[in-house]
Amino acid sequence: MRFRTTLHAHRWLSTTDDLLSAVLVVDGTGLAGADTPPAAAEVIIVDCSGSMSLPPSKIAAARRATAAAVDALRDGVRFALVAGTDTARLLYPLAPRMATADERSRAEARQAAAAMVASGGTAMGSWLLLARDLLAAHPGAIRHAILLTDGQNVGETPEQLEAALRACAGEFTCDARGIGADWKPAELRRITAALRGRADAVRAEADLAEDFTGMVAEAMRKVVPEVRIRVQTRPGTEIRFLRQVFPVAADLTAEAVAVGEGVTEFSTGSWSADLRHFNLGLTVDPAGAPHQRDLPVGSVRLLAVPPGSTTAEEVGEPEPLLVHWTEDEARFSQVDPYDGHYRGQERLRRLVIEGCEALDAGDRGAAAELLGEAVRLAAASGNTEQLDRIGQVAQIEDAAAGRIRLKEQLSKVDLRWLEGGSGISVVPGRQLPAPASEPLPDRVCPVCELVWPGAHRFCEACKGALG
């Protein structure tokens, strides 16, 4: 299991500061090229509530997408189809177990998908619990689920959904998709944060089959069932948060598991040849602490579950977490480039969500202000995905200045697509090039003295901020 970790942290704090923020870069791209794919198990959950028949083309698109997802399964993968209403019903196979993908079972599953009927309510927690029960029979496999919905979880209480998420957390990963205009992005984000997947919207019914196929193809590329981040803290230090910040934002703080005195683990789900970044925040106490020297306050390291196993193994060496309290403003006022970048991406995410909420409430003035600032941050950080999505609801007149004009006719589907993708981020150093008519002067790295184009904000050699 070939992982590389790098910790980015500005350890110099003022003598009144109690937050140490660090970005952990986990590079799993060395996982590519496994000779034999590991065992895998897949559950495809389709909302079959009555609203999926309004219009009828919606359930028809779900039938086609489910069939396409089944065809994307490789031979030997265990799989099942679940129809979700106010209860969860096993659509295929009919026995309470998972089928094995081969030519015959895929044909039978396609027939079952073609017979899906939209009728009933929506209770997503029950859908997820059935998926957990099916996947529990395959503990050493890469376990994954897809959830599609067009509505809101009105068939059960928020407490029931939370209880289901607690029961499913760590058992499998789940990607969720919303279709249409009546689902809640926050609801799907909560599900996928707990189950270490990704939530997004499907703008057009015609795109659903391709999206389902892509999610299954990505699941088939997974090679490690689970990767955990272990944070060990010294007395007087507490974990304030742990968030995945790239490629998609997800708050993992609530799913912390204490495994010993001062030792906490966070599951990040299953991995393919991924690159992911995580932001760790620690509360450190400056009272009575010595100044002007590095103080160890903890460490962070990886654990991974090998294919076919359920036991996590330590990977690599722990990264030390240090703090250095100082009264030197020139030092404590600096910001680590990675930490500063992801603070900006988090603000971008919140601006997009708040802008969509303002549009839902009919406040176009507030929405224009919020989304204009989001455009400015997206342009400065090179987040073209966010620019493209905002461009569906607004004319971007000057991205660098954050000047936009909201479209007169707004589609609720486009709003859901914009909010659904609000957590998509980019790595530092992907700034958009300046317009050719306004070239920026070259920038010189103050550390290694290499010269970079004016659009660069960070040195690609030493990763320091450019002057």
Q: What's the confidence (pLDDT) of residue 435?
A: 44
User: What residues have CB less than 8 Å from 56, skipping those under 6 apart?
Assistant: 118
- Residue 83 — very low, low, confident or very high, per pLDDT cuts 50/70/90? very high
- Residue 455 — very low, low, confident or very high, per pLDDT cuts 50/70/90? low
Single-letter amino acid, residue 63: R
Q: What is the Cα Rg of the chain in Å?
A: 24
Residue 199 sits in the same domain as residue 110? yes
Q: What's the confidence (pLDDT) of residue 436?
A: 41
Residue 168 sits in the same domain as residue 237? no
Mean pLDDT of 273-298: 92
Mean pLDDT of 432-440: 46
In the listed set 184, 204, 220, which residue is the last one of a domain according to the structure?
220
Residue 384 sits in the same domain as residue 453? no
Mean pLDDT of 170-199: 96
Edge-first strand listing for the sheet containing 263-267? 12-14, 313-326, 295-305, 226-233, 263-267, 257-260
Determine if the pTM surpasses 0.95.
Answer: no
Kindly state the percentage of the chain with pLDDT values over 90. 86
CATH number of domain containing 108: 3.40.50.410
Residue 117 sits in the same domain as residue 96? yes
Residue 188 sits in the same domain as residue 45? yes
Residue 206 sits in the same domain as residue 240? no
Mean pLDDT of 383-391: 97
Note whether residue 34 is domain-resident.
Answer: no
Note whether residue 389 is domain-resident.
Answer: yes
Residue 158 sits in the same domain as residue 277? no
Q: Please determine, for residue 439, whether its predicted confidence score (pLDDT) is greater than 50.
A: no
What average pLDDT is seen over the chain? 92
CATH number of domain containing 402: 1.20.120.1690
In the listed set 308, 328, 348, which residue is the last one of a domain according to the structure?
328
Q: Please determine, for residue 61, whether its predicted confidence score (pLDDT) is greater than 90.
A: yes
Residue 75 sits in the same domain as residue 215? yes
Report how many domains make up the chain: 4
Note whether residue 428 is domain-resident.
Answer: no
Residue 345 sits in the same domain as residue 246? no
- Residue 438 — very low, low, confident or very high, per pLDDT cuts 50/70/90? very low
Note whether residue 112 is domain-resident.
Answer: yes
Q: Which domain holds residue 299?
A: 4-28+224-328
Residue 288 sits in the same domain as residue 383? no
Q: How far apart are CA 167 and CA 129, in angstroms?
A: 8
CATH number of domain containing 271: 2.60.40.3670
Residue 45 sits in the same domain as residue 162? yes
Measured from the Cβ of residue 453, the count of other Cβ atoms closer than 10 Å reads 14
Note whether residue 33 is domain-resident.
Answer: no
Comparison of pLDDT for 441 and 180, the residue scoring more: 180
Note whether residue 159 is domain-resident.
Answer: yes
In the listed set 157, 189, 220, which residue is the last one of a domain according to the structure?
220
What are the tens digits of pLDDT across the range 207-216?
Answer: 999 999 999 9
Looking at residue 90, what DSSP letter applies? E
Q: Please determine, for residue 447, whether its predicted confidence score (pLDDT) is greater than 80.
A: no
Least confident of 83-87, 168-172, 410-414, 457-461: 457-461
